[in-house]
Chain A
Amino acid sequence: MTDEVRALVGRSRTYTAPEPLGRASIRYFAMATGDDNPAHLAGDVAPPTLVCETNQFTGLPRDANGYAGHGWDFHLPGTREVRGGNAYRFHRPVRPDDVITAHWQVTDVTERTTGSGQSMVVVTSLATYTNQDGDLLVENEETLIYVEVGR
């Protein structure tokens, strides 16, 4: 693993939404996911995973692939990036009047070898979502995997 890769640990980004989450965002997400929970369709309470899935807070421009969400601007030559998974911990339901701040930090970078002998680098990040009062809403541990290609 190179020094550049190791130096990812501790890198952080913070995004604060310019407005409250809003009932329309909640209702749209519920409709898009086929969720018929009346509290979600009314926009009273957000479906639990919404704040972890939306790019609503970032305010970033689209990249060449059309993506406008959080990223680390990290490219490891000779690899392809795949999403490993997520682990969410929900501290309290998110409501339409919450103004969300998402704080991301790289917590770990590990080099491993797959069962077929390919090298891979696993980057683990923790996102914490808080509101305008500093209430902790959700934590989201995300794993990105950079798998060696061309062998």
Chain B
Amino acid sequence: MTEIALERTIELPDMVAYAGATWDWHRLHYDSAWLAERDLERPVVDGQLFGALLAEMVLDWAGPGAELTALSFRFKGFVYAGETVRCTGRVVSVEDGVTALECTVEVVGPEARVAVAPAAAEVRRP
């Protein structure tokens, strides 16, 4: 059974770049004083980033000319600046040229936990 993965460490500069690229300047993602007032120790990674990482993982595997047709994900908890996430996908069906995958995003390392689940993708391969 085909399984795919993508691992990425998300540092604060990555989060600042993502905030700029998405025009999303919410203080949750960088403002230490704002975070401290809310008992949050570290900046929180924008959850939408995990959608981008899942899409990247699936398209990298599907190859040139492939088109992502669907992607869904549910958030389970915060991921913080400096943590490493591992996205995984498992092919569950292939029908009429469309491959369906079940996916997850997990934090790896000393505070390992599920960040996104369930998640699913569909990709049309040429």
Contact = CB atoms under 8 A, between A and B. Distances in A.
A48 B68 CA distance: 7
Interface residues of B, number: 35
Interface in A42-76: 47-50, 52-56, 58, 62, 65-69
Interface in B3-40: 8, 14, 17-18, 20-28, 31, 34
Interface in A92-148: 93, 143
Contacts of B51: 49, 52-53, 86, 88
A38 B23 CA distance: 23
Contacts of B73: 85-86
Interface of B: 8, 14, 17-18, 20-28, 31, 34, 47-49, 51-53, 55-56, 59-60, 67-75, 116
Closest 9 CB pairs of A and B: A85-B74, A87-B72, A32-B17, A55-B23, A32-B21, A66-B25, A33-B52, A67-B26, A53-B48
